A and B are shown apart, each in its own frame.
Chain A
Amino acid sequence: MSDKEYYLTKERARKLEADIFTICDEALKWSRADETEIVIVAQDEALTRFANSQIHQNNFERNATVTVRAAYGKRVAKASGNLLTKEGVRKVMDDACAIARLSPADEDFAGLPQGEFTYPFKVEYFEDTASLSPISRAKALLDVFKLGGDSYNAAGVLANSAITFVVANSHGIRVGCNTSSTKFTVLYTGETSSGYAEDFKRNFSDLDILGSAQRALNKAEASKNPYKDLPFGQYTVVLEEECVATMMMFLSWLGFSAKSYQDKESFMYGKLGEKITGDCITIIDDASDERTLGLPFDAEGVPKKRIVLIENGVAKGYAHNWKTAKKDGVESTGHHLGMDFPLPLNLVLFGGTASDGELISSTERGILVSRFHYTNVVDPKETVITGMTRDGTFLIEDGKITKGLTNFRFTQNILKALENCVGMSRSQRLASSFFGGGAVVPKIKVEKFNFSGKTEF
């Protein structure tokens, strides 16, 4: 932008954070509630969206969310707004106090967090990423469009953002951070096939835009003229990272929250310490693993702890916020998201020993799945999900990828799939899940994976 004063340089981001702390300090003095918490997220986000190998939606947004939680004894309410001024924060605080006074008690409310916290890691802020111009994004995409030539249309996004996140409460918690993020996704679509790739980083210069684009194009080219006559049924599959990340996020929603455990709705309820899936499966949540792009504290200002969720197939633990932790008589793990449902969102599935190639070469007959689409829950307690394959489904014969396939519907119990896991790649990467979130995961090889239907494309 020609108006260079507008973007959040590192210095301006620091000043914004300091100003927000000052606003919070003053606002907390005004509060009439017994306990008060202010959470502020200020964000600039620019997103260049492209389809048919041209930019069709090109956006910039400057927004903020100011959320105040006010408590009178156990009577608790929240209000939020987006006016990032003293007056704006005060208005939100007045709203929260007013409705909290009218509300009945939340008997599970355990007060707001208090204590001396140490935050185990810091996150970086990349000024060049925060202030990336629309022209820079457009220029980076020109080669992506060119790569597809006349045969493959490119669609996807190139985005960058700057985030300032501050938590302050009436018990003295004051914590904040500035960070940046960037993402690139691309789908090449040809006459009979498509291929997808994605990359997420904090620093724009770490994105491998052309490398990702080439991987997506290779998929699209390799899967063209797909074979249509392979019947659905049970197959050995090699699932790539986007599929595995989707399975991890569904496990998180269905069972890794203390709230779902306490309400007896978690698939892990009553099974802690028991074997619930395959020996090779260890899932942790670790925001300090830089690959997860995690933040050092949650929306209550509590440090994020590393938690072991499943270890060698055994159910081990789940994520807490302050309220669920007090109910269980333990410490919060720092997984409050602002709603009454703590959730681990920095998941890591441990990798195995195989190279990517060995997962294929060790498969006599199977199917390689690149990506799931529109996955949803069929049975929450049994962890059964259904969804479609898309953007590159391939037949494996005698240890080699022999042809592209039309897409399948799967209906599959996640824990059973992980129980039937017979191989995992050494390599891991952060991959996204269709309904949001993501996880750092390897590719995995699963036997008896259930395809329940198919399409003609």
Chain B
Amino acid sequence: MKELTDAFKNIAERLKLTYADIRITEAQTEAITIKNENLEELVKTSQAGFGVRVLHKGCWGFASSREISATEVERITRLAVEISESSALAKREDVVLVPEPSHIDNWKNEVKEDPFAVSLEEKIKLLLEANKALNVAGVTNRLSFYNAFREYQTFANTEGSFITQEIVECGAGIQAVAIKNGELQERSFPNSFRGQFHTAGFEVVREFDLVGNAPRIAEEAVQLLSAVECPDTVTTLILDGNQLGLQIHESIGHPIELDRVLGYEAAYAGMSFITLEKRGKFRYGSEIMHIVADATLPRGLGSFGYDDDGVPAQRVDIIKDGIFLNYLTNRETAHIIGNTRSNGTNRADGWNRIPIIRMTNINLEPREGTLAELIADTKEGVFMSTNRSWSIDDRRLNFQFGCEIAWEIKDGRLGRMLKNPTYTGITPEFWGSMDRICGAEEWRIWGTPNCGKGQPSQTAHVGHGCAPARFRNVRVGIKG
């Protein structure tokens, strides 16, 4: 790698660039899917390449290649310069980077059990056992999922940084699908869309207890077929952590990305309602709301050592006492809001993508009490769990979510199971109606491995720590 980064530095110096960096990455993934006790998918992938980003004539240029050699590094760096010069044809303002000290470091996350070293037989055996345990009368399809990721990255820039990182992520899940008379119901554990994910090793998969939870999940899927419909009404809503995580993702995580606010994502994913003048004074939610962006959180799927600007991972207050305080920034945008340093959120989906602002772990800090106590404290309402559907407008105000399952709450107790639960709201009104958050004993970090943004498209792995919380006067049961 040193030979490549030296070749890059030599050419960058000769071309007298304002700034340049190179990222050389090697990534591996493993995926297993078992459906109805049959192996449907067993895939291993590997990808290697490098990307060069140059800041020249006030504009960015980015080029990347799978051919890893010193000759190709020189050719790609020259191409990146040519691209930056073409960008300068229509320049309105120069790109300005806030200062960052140079870093020479090597970072890796804690991995107790390397998922790639655990035998395939053992992984398949665990997934098969969980699949068998889902075999309850009335279940139509049973699924078990497993994914692991590893990325080695070398980052070097013209300011003297040289950083290597190794990030290992792992996750698994199960799903039961029950179909009858043209109706489909599904239950997932620990989370929907292939399960729960952490920046950690195989130890997290062992902790999930997929086999132990499978019968309950399967029975719930079947019970949903005969459950009553979630009523169309306005009521008190308690969200389980695995749904609240996605609520945070869509209605807080994305709107606080400063590149969105500045219009960089306007044509595709959209912009943000939380415009620049709102910083420091806008009431985003109720006074009990404390949101942090924390890339340092052990096991968080949005955790790392350094972002792809070479800025160390940080923990930053985003919303405190319900007031909006800070955006997610990178070195390019931090100065626009008067910050003298990036808070370290610039990340790329691999060697062949330019880094853009991404969520890290966007967490709702816990308050107090258990979920059982929260339900006991609620006279009437609905408790919803596990995401099934999500949608939000292009400024992140009007949202609608669907969950897999819900229960009515009557006089502090869970009552009848409700099917097809949905709820809708407007972001600041919804967070303003939050009047109670459970405590640390209920707090979990939920991994979202499928966050899409950018063109060409990039998928980020991000996390959301939260405990169940209660919201007042929410419209539920929206019908099509």
Interface stretch, picked from B46-54, B195-203, B360-368, is: B46-54
Interface mask (B33-64 → A, CB under 8 Å = 1, otherwise 0): 10100111111111111000000000111111
Q: Please determine whether B177 and A142 come into contact, CB atoms closer than 8 angstroms.
A: no
Residues 56-109 of B contacting A (Cβ, < 8 Å)? 59-67, 75-76, 78-80, 82-87, 89-93
Is A47's beta carbon under 8 Å from chain B?
yes
Interface stretch, picked from A149-157, A164-172, A311-319, is: A149-157
Interface mask (A146-189 → B, CB under 8 Å = 1, otherwise 0): 00000001011101000000000000000000000000011101
Contacts of B179 in A (CB 8 A): 264-265, 381
> Among B83, B262, B354, B394, which residue has its beta carbon within 8 angstroms of that of A388?
B394
Instruction: Say whether chain B's binding surface is mostly helix, strand, loop, or mixed.
Output: mixed
Contacts of A54 in B (CB 8 A): 87, 90-93
> When A390-B393, A409-B393 are in contact, do A379 and B420 touch as well, CB less than 8 Å?
yes
CB distance from A339 to the nearest CB of B (A): 7
Contacts of B356 in A (CB 8 A): 57
Q: Please determine whether A411 and B480 come into contact, CB atoms closer than 8 angstroms.
A: yes
Q: In the assembly, what is the distance between CA of A26 and CA of B262, in Å?
A: 52
> Among A62, A79, A412, A457, which residue has its beta carbon within 8 angstroms of that of B44?
A79
Q: Please determine whether B89 and A135 come into contact, CB atoms closer than 8 angstroms.
A: yes
Is A229's beta carbon under 8 Å from chain B?
no
Is B314's beta carbon under 8 Å from chain A?
no
> Among B66, B402, B424, which residue has its beta carbon within 8 angstroms of that of A84?
B66
CB distance from A218 to the nearest CB of B (A): 17
Q: Please determine whether A81 and B46 come into contact, CB atoms closer than 8 angstroms.
A: yes
Q: Please determine whether A134 and B45 come into contact, CB atoms closer than 8 angstroms.
A: no
Q: Please determine whether B424 and A60 come into contact, CB atoms closer than 8 angstroms.
A: no
CB distance from B26 to the nearest CB of A (A): 10
Residues 304-360 of B contacting A (Cβ, < 8 Å)? 352-354, 356
Q: Please determine whether B90 and A145 come into contact, CB atoms closer than 8 angstroms.
A: yes
Contacts of B393 in A (CB 8 A): 373-374, 388, 390, 407, 409, 455
Is A450's beta carbon under 8 Å from chain B?
yes
Residues 259-278 of B contacting A (Cβ, < 8 Å)? 262-267, 270-271
Residues 54-76 of A contacting B (Cβ, < 8 Å)? 54-64, 76
Is A223's beta carbon under 8 Å from chain B?
no
Q: In the assembly, what is the distance between CA of A52 and CA of B267, in Å?
A: 10
Contacts of B87 in A (CB 8 A): 48, 54-56, 58, 134, 138
Contacts of B478 in A (CB 8 A): 386, 411, 452-453
> When A103-B120, A105-B39 are in contact, do A6 and B86 touch as well, CB less than 8 Å?
no
Size of the chain B interface, CB-CB below 8 angstroms: 85
Contacts of B183 in A (CB 8 A): 381
Q: In the assembly, what is the distance between CA of A142 and CA of B88, in Å?
A: 11
CB distance from B68 to the nearest CB of A (A): 9
Residues 127-184 of B contacting A (Cβ, < 8 Å)? 128, 140-141, 177, 179, 182-184
Q: In the assembly, what is the distance between CA of A49 and CA of B83, in Å?
A: 12
> When A47-B456, A55-B90, A373-B393 are in contact, do A80 and B83 touch as well, CB less than 8 Å?
no
Q: In the assembly, what is the distance between CA of A105 and CA of B263, in Å?
A: 51
Q: Please determine whether A374 and B89 come into contact, CB atoms closer than 8 angstroms.
A: no
CB distance from B224 to the nearest CB of A (A): 12
> When A102-B121, A134-B82, A386-B391 are in contact, do A378 and B45 touch as well, CB less than 8 Å?
no
Q: In the assembly, what is the distance between CA of A401 and CA of B110, in Å?
A: 60
Q: Please determine whether B120 and A186 come into contact, CB atoms closer than 8 angstroms.
A: no
Is A3's beta carbon under 8 Å from chain B?
yes
> When A142-B90, A377-B389 are in contact, do A58 and B61 touch as well, CB less than 8 Å?
yes
Which one of A52, A79, A103, A379 has the highest number of Cβ atoms from chain B below 10 Å of its Cβ? A379
Q: In the assembly, what is the distance between CA of A82 and CA of B29, in Å?
A: 13
Q: Please determine whether B47 and A382 come into contact, CB atoms closer than 8 angstroms.
A: no
Q: In the assembly, what is the distance between CA of A412 and CA of B400, in Å?
A: 13
CB distance from A434 to the nearest CB of B (A): 9
Q: In the assembly, what is the distance between CA of A181 and CA of B400, in Å?
A: 36
How many CB-defined contacts (below 8 Å) exist between A and B?
A: 273
Contacts of A96 in B (CB 8 A): 44
Contacts of B84 in A (CB 8 A): 58
Interface mask (A235-270 → B, CB under 8 Å = 1, otherwise 0): 000000000000000000000000000011100001
Q: Please determine whether A186 and B267 come into contact, CB atoms closer than 8 angstroms.
A: yes
Residues 98-113 of A contacting B (Cβ, < 8 Å)? 99-100, 102-108
Size of the chain A interface, CB-CB below 8 angstroms: 98
> When A138-B86, A139-B89, A187-B266 are in contact, do A411 and B479 touch as well, CB less than 8 Å?
yes
CB distance from B171 to the nearest CB of A (A): 18
Q: Please determine whether A58 and B86 come into contact, CB atoms closer than 8 angstroms.
A: yes
Q: Please determine whether B424 and A409 come into contact, CB atoms closer than 8 angstroms.
A: yes
Q: Please determine whether A60 and B394 come into contact, CB atoms closer than 8 angstroms.
A: no
Q: Please determine whether B43 and A78 come into contact, CB atoms closer than 8 angstroms.
A: yes
Q: In the assembly, what is the distance between CA of A78 and CA of B42, in Å?
A: 6
> Among A53, A100, A107, A339, which residue has its beta carbon within 8 angstroms of that of B92?
A53
> When A59-B354, A62-B65, A379-B480 are in contact, do A155 and B86 touch as well, CB less than 8 Å?
no
Contacts of B270 in A (CB 8 A): 373-374, 390
Is B376's beta carbon under 8 Å from chain A?
no
CB distance from B422 to the nearest CB of A (A): 7
Contacts of A263 in B (CB 8 A): 35, 140-141
Contacts of B83 in A (CB 8 A): 58-60, 134
> When A134-B83, A373-B270, A409-B393 are in contact, do A60 and B64 touch as well, CB less than 8 Å?
yes
Is A51's beta carbon under 8 Å from chain B?
yes
In the complex, the chain B residue whose C-beta lies closest to that of A338 is B43
Q: Please determine whether B39 and A81 come into contact, CB atoms closer than 8 angstroms.
A: no
Is A349's beta carbon under 8 Å from chain B?
no
Between-chain CB contacts (< 8 Å), 7 pairs: A52-B264, A62-B67, A64-B66, A76-B39, A106-B40, A386-B389, A453-B424
The 6 closest A-B pairs by CB, nearest first: A384-B480, A134-B86, A155-B267, A138-B86, A55-B87, A155-B266
Q: What 18 additional pairs, Cβ within 8 angstroms, besides A134-B86, A455-B393?
A: A47-B456, A51-B265, A57-B454, A59-B83, A79-B43, A80-B44, A81-B46, A81-B48, A83-B66, A102-B121, A135-B85, A138-B87, A142-B89, A155-B264, A187-B266, A263-B140, A374-B393, A452-B479
Binding site for A on B (CB under 8 A): 33, 35, 38-49, 59-67, 75-76, 78-80, 82-87, 89-93, 119-121, 124, 128, 140-141, 177, 179, 182-184, 262-267, 270-271, 352-354, 356, 389-395, 397-398, 400, 402, 420, 422, 424, 426, 454-457, 478-480
Binding site for B on A (CB under 8 A): 1-3, 6, 45, 47-64, 76-84, 92, 95-96, 99-100, 102-108, 133-135, 137-139, 141-142, 145, 153, 155-157, 159, 185-187, 189, 196, 263-265, 270, 339-340, 373-382, 384-388, 390, 407, 409, 411-413, 436, 450, 452-457
